[in-house]
Chain A
Amino acid sequence: MTEPTSSVPIGVAGRDGTLIEGPVPPAIDATVEAGLELKVRSQWSYARMRFFRHRLAMMGLVGLVILFGAGAFAGYVAPYSYSEIDLNNILHAPTTIGQHYFGTDEIGRDYFSRVIWGIRTSEEVGVFVAVVSSLIGLVIGAIAGYYRGWIDNILMRITDLVLTLPAIAILLTASALLGQGSQWRISFILASFFWTGIARIVRGVFLSLREKEYVEAAKASGAGDLRIMFRHILPNTLGPIIVNGTLAVAAAILTEAALSFLGFGIKPPTPSLGALVVSGQTNPQQWWLTVFPGLTIVAIVLCVNFVGDGLRDALDPQQRRIRA
């Protein structure tokens, strides 16, 4: 990614496509004379085009809008409340009668509604963790990469430490000890460990770009550190940040589900897709209790990953199309 610039010679068109006063190069004159329309495109509009042409990404986006839409409007979409108990309909198989599309659980709660509310919880966790950890990672990575020195050292040592343990073990310990409970608490714990990945990426970009001529030029013309960092270097890191932020949504949702499944995550009554699978484990003969919440997790993560891959291909064309 480079600074968003116009694809035609500078002095003709600004970033937003409006014409700027100045001498008009002959090639453009000829185009206009020939009666052809001249459309100015920025790097971002190229990226947008690449993204919208990415078939898998568009499929993922549509799926995500449907799933997250259902979660966001759970109150309208779900036919029942997630905690409404109906002891006459215990462990009922999926049926359209009474709108129990996904059946009912061991105390007769409508499973479809519980899954929809579970999506809402996953969505909150995923988005919160992605946004907060990206912001933390961005600031720390920028400072470490720009100033280097001790802060860079501390950052890299913390990353080393985090890398010495399986992520889920750290998170399990954290949530077992700091207290499980609401989705916000879990999100906070996840975010406080997820930022290291983004910080390292941002740091890498800053380390290489701070030596570039345009940064030197900005410095020479009297720009302050903050202006150079956020105005000149930061836009170049946005591509990787957006891509990794998107993939962090998927990782956070998967991690939250695993924590809740093990009993160290979100506590009832808040419905969580991971915790829902537990009732499938205790009732293995009732397949719908296992299959539906699990499939929903797979669908969400799959869609997020498709969108993430599409964004990577659109924003970050040099990077290989492979995910760790």
Chain B
Amino acid sequence: MLTYVVRRLLYSIPVLFLSTFLSFIFVSYAGNPLAQIRQNPRIPASTIHNLIVQNHLDKPVVLRYFYWLKEAIFHKFGDSLLVAQPIWPDITRTLGHTAQVVLLAELVAIVIGVAVGIYSAIRQYSAFDYTFTTISFLGYAMPTFWLALLLQILFVDIYLKWHVRIFYTSGLNSGSSGSTWSLDRLQHIALPVATLSIISFALYSRYMRASMLDVINSDYVRTARAKGVPEWRVIMRHVFRNALIPIVTIAALNLGAVLGGAIVTETVFTLDGIGYYFVSRLGTLDLYAVMAYLTVTAVIIIAFNLLADILYGYLDPRIRYD
């Protein structure tokens, strides 16, 4: 097991380097971040020249990658290309906010999705099953940005009509700063969390249902019933526990999609998360900020995929890694 983990970790290092290298080439070839600055007549040519020299923009792109790599490793991604402020504080702050929203959303989606999946599988083809099948089909077809916008408009309307503030529809806190777990914060992130969890819920409930049905029809469940084990015990001990194993993998693999959904959701709710940071920096072609986002998310996703594989091996002794 340990050798497997070490090997996977070693393997993810070249993947990460290659991924950042390709992203860097891609990002720097396609857009000229100075085009906008050049159009501003108030910025003197000497400033632009300094920017070019500082950022080695006159060097070949492969060389620039290594300059960037040095900055990224030794100076935590260095300064932003255009705003001349360090990137790392922005990344940690926004990532913290995104983590709160995303983890809360995943928790809600997994708990409800698993519960619904279990009940749908036990009462297969019941009205309950059909209702939630329909809901999950809608969840699959729902564009995240549209769902977010609908929720936002709905709660803005509620506020305008009855002057009750249930949930806030933009931002992260009412004041300039607020604690991470205050009621005010929860009122702000409730709608983004709801958006992301509705989308993920569809996935988890369907997979849990399928996984339960798989296990329910297996021989050892029939044996357990034949032995006279009470039905609830069969479901909870023999079926549920085994059916949950694939969900672990699905949850980790889904993280990429959730981070993608967070980009859209945070933009709609103008929430100071890493996705919104990415989109706004992409809009100004801020090369180094975009690269920082791509690198950080790549590290997170690689880490979660590894975690999923390890957990999978731990939960299911039939899986062996050598």
A in complex with B: yes
A residues in contact (CB < 8 Å) with B? 157, 160-161, 163-169, 172-174, 176-179, 250, 254, 257-258, 261-264, 274, 277, 280-281, 284, 287, 290-291, 294, 297-298, 301-302, 305-306, 320-324
Do the beta carbons of A165 and B143 come within 8 Å of each other?
A: no
| 17 A-B residue pairs with CB within 8 Å | A164-B16, A164-B298, A165-B256, A166-B256, A166-B259, A168-B264, A173-B290, A174-B26, A177-B26, A177-B285, A179-B30, A250-B141, A262-B145, A262-B279, A305-B140, A320-B210, A322-B206
Do the beta carbons of A166 and B149 come within 8 Å of each other?
A: no
Q: Count residues of B near A (Cβ-Cβ below 8 Å).
A: 53
Does B263 sit within 8 A of A, measured CB to CB?
yes
- Contact A261 B264, CB 8 Å, known A165-B301, A287-B153, A323-B140: yes
- Contact A164 B260, CB 8 Å, known A173-B26, A298-B141: no
Identify the stretch in B17-25, B106-114, B175-183 within 8 Å (CB) of chain A at 4 or more residues. Answer: B17-25
| Docked complex Cα distance between A177 and B291 (Å) | 13
| Docked complex Cα distance between A284 and B290 (Å) | 31
Instruction: Determine the chain A residues whose CB is within 8 A of the CB of B294 once the complex forms.
Output: 165, 169, 173
Does B302 sit within 8 A of A, measured CB to CB?
yes
Instruction: Determine the chain B residues whose CB is within 8 A of the CB of A298 once the complex forms.
Output: 138, 141-143, 146
Q: Write the nearest CB–CB distance from A290 to chain B, whole angstroms.
A: 6
Do the beta carbons of A323 and B206 come within 8 Å of each other?
A: yes
Instruction: Determine the chain A residues whose CB is within 8 A of the CB of B256 once the complex forms.
Output: 163, 165-167
Q: List residues 279-299 of chain B with CB under 8 A from any CB of chain A.
A: 279, 282-283, 285, 290, 293-294, 297-298
| Docked complex Cα distance between A179 and B261 (Å) | 22
Instruction: Determine the chain B residues whose CB is within 8 A of the CB of A284 once the complex forms.
Output: 152-153, 156-157
Instruction: Determine the chain B residues whose CB is within 8 A of the CB of A301 once the complex forms.
Output: 140-141, 143
Contact partner of A302 (CB less than 8 A), chosen from B137, B149, B152, B278, is B137
| Docked complex Cα distance between A178 and B27 (Å) | 9
Instruction: Determine the chain A residues whose CB is within 8 A of the CB of B203 once the complex forms.
Output: 324
Q: A173-B282, A254-B141, A305-B137 are in contact. List 12 more A-B contacts (CB 8 A).
A: A157-B15, A161-B15, A166-B259, A166-B297, A168-B260, A168-B261, A173-B290, A174-B26, A177-B31, A274-B143, A290-B149, A294-B143
B15, B143, B261, B267 interface centre (most CB from chain A within 10 Å): B143
| Docked complex Cα distance between A252 and B279 (Å) | 20
Q: Write the nearest CB–CB distance from B33 to chain A, whole angstroms.
A: 10
Residue of A whose beta carbon sits closest to that of B287: A177
Instruction: Determine the chain A residues whose CB is within 8 A of the CB of B137 once the complex forms.
Output: 302, 305-306
Q: Write the nearest CB–CB distance from A204 to chain B, whole angstroms.
A: 17
Does B268 sit within 8 A of A, measured CB to CB?
yes
Instruction: Determine the chain A residues whose CB is within 8 A of the CB of B16 once the complex forms.
Output: 164
